[in-house]
Amino acid sequence: MDFISTRNNEIKKTLSQAIHRGLAEDGGLFVPEYLPKVDIKKFSRDLTYPEFSEKILHTFFQNDLLEKKLLDICTNAFMFTVPLEKLNDNTFILELFHGPTLSFKDFGARFLAECLNILSEKHKTTIMVATSGDTGSAVASAFYKKSNCNVIILYPANKISIRQQHQITCWDKNILALEVNGTFDDCQDLVKSAFKNPWWQQHLHLSSANSINIGRLLPQISYYAYCSVQFYHRYHMLPGFIVPTGNLGNATAAYWAKLMGFPIREIVLATNANKIIVDYLQTGEYAPRHSISTLANAMDVGNPSNFERLQYLFNSYDMFKNNVKAISATDDDIRLTIKSIYEQYKRIICPHTATACFARQQLSEQPWVVVATADPSKFENIIEPIIKLKVPIPSQMQYLLDKPTKVINVNKNLVDIQEVISDFLR
Ligand SMILES: *Cc1c(COP(=O)(O)O)cnc(C)c1O
């Protein structure tokens, strides 16, 4: 299969090329040329998660260098569980946070790391990534000791939680984390300018691991597919999914899974107070803006980078409105939801998952799967004062917390950063 730019169907690349480039040369995002239709009767119920993923992703990999490696990629990347828990009769929780850095970003980052390490056998690649929290740790962990790749992570000073920072700065060898005196948007701008800068391009063979990379999105189709098939077999009903949303990457993967024919009834996006999508659905006007800080910080996005992919999928306002539904939660809604879910069910949820649980309360009696995007232990500073209880620390978190960290502070200036990284690359 080929992958085309959202801005021009004539820009066509193989999957490997699309993964390596990140962004199309016209500034568009890569999307599959078509979404292969599946016949769910063909999936045996006994497949493991990696086997299932290989089967549903296979068409996307057809005729690509990576095709023969796909099962290995899935097996190495998805070495953790993907449980579907029941909250009550018509609410379920899909826990996507059992990977090494405890957020759903482990799925995409680990899959991409396997792909890029294979693709960089002849030429070392430098992955550059801006993070507002969970991407940084997932990418660092996924690429750690992948011998064909170096990683540079930029994160904003004083804008992420202490444990998030710990998880980003506890690596060595091929991982370099830089604390930038600026905002997340500044970090993202630095990455963009590095990509446009000839010195950086020539010396580093840059590639991106942000959710614009198609290599991160494709593996996210798998868990929607897997969960919906299991749900359908178990309950003979089609579930709806509620997806906590920031850059719209996870949401795009959910729509792709639905359009491929997996048994998904509908999809609802949950946002925090950064409710650009909610406003777009109401007004028909897409008005990106600066992000505002909320309790669900991994969703603090004012201009979602994957909006272009959703718009490509639903290419008129009417079509968009007929397919996309979104509900936003304020910080107060998030706090109240964390509290009530704990009191009612003795379950501790993270602030991002809370936006989806809040949305669940506004929706029908039909069955809904809330997508749980992070383990609560990453946000103990927010949760513990609300439920007045210590959040248990999973073994993966303890392992990372026990590692020493190193903070390297830089100004938001590419020339300064260039000096720091030339030591790292030596
Ligand atoms: C990144 C992230 C999100 C938002 O996902 P997008 O794909 O950017 O929409 C939600 N929750 C958590 C915990 C995250 O880390």
Backbone angles phi, psi at 126, to 5 degrees: -110, 120
Would you say residue 425 has pLDDT above 80?
Answer: no
Q: How far apart are CA 245 and CA 234, in angstroms?
A: 27
The residue among 161, 165, 168, 169 whose CA lies nearest residue 381 is 161
Q: How far apart are CA 233 and CA 41, in angstroms?
A: 10
H helices within 126-240, ranges in order? 134-143, 162-169, 184-196, 198-204, 214-235
pLDDT band at residue 40 under the 50/70/90 scheme: confident
Q: How far apart are CA 176 and CA 419, in angstroms?
A: 13
Q: What is the pTM of this model?
A: 0.96
For 209-226, write each residue's pLDDT tens digit.
888 899 999 999 999 999
Pocket test for ligand 1, best of 217, 247, 272, 297 (most atoms within 8 A of CB): 247
pLDDT band at residue 195 under the 50/70/90 scheme: confident
Q: How far apart are CA 132 and CA 115, in angstroms?
A: 24
The residue whose two tokens read 């300064």 is 416
For 397-422, write each residue's pLDDT tens digit.
999 999 999 999 999 999 999 999 88
pLDDT at residue 169, as a whole number:
97
Mean pLDDT, the chain, rounded, equals 95
Q: How far apart are CA 217 and CA 211, in angstroms?
A: 7
H helices within 62-152, ranges in order? 70-77, 105-119, 134-143
- CA 355 to chain CA centroid, Å, is 16
pLDDT band at residue 203 under the 50/70/90 scheme: confident
Task: Work out whether strand 206-208 and strand 175-181 pair parallel, antiparallel, or are unpaired.
Answer: unpaired
Domain residue extents for the chain: 82-103+215-394
| Spacing, Cα 146 to ligand 1 middle (Å) | 24
Q: Is 244 in the pocket of ligand 1 (CB under 6 A)?
A: yes
Pocket test for ligand 1, best of 267, 350, 373 (most atoms within 8 A of CB): 373
Q: What fold does the segment set 82-103+215-394 form as a domain?
A: Rossmann fold (3.40.50)
pLDDT at residue 128, as a whole number:
93
What's the rounded mean pLDDT across residues 371-389?
Answer: 97
> By percentage, how much of the chain surpasses pLDDT 90?
85
Nearest CA to ligand 1 atom 1: 298
Q: Is 377 in the pocket of ligand 1 (CB under 6 A)?
A: no
Ligand 1 atom, smallest distance to 245 CA? 9
Ligand 1 atom, smallest distance to 134 CA? 15
For 119-155, write each residue's pLDDT tens digit.
999 999 999 999 877 899 999 999 999 999 999 999 9
Using an 8 Å Cβ cutoff, are 373 and 103 in contact? yes
| Spacing, Cα 367 to ligand 1 middle (Å) | 23
pLDDT at residue 132, as a whole number:
76
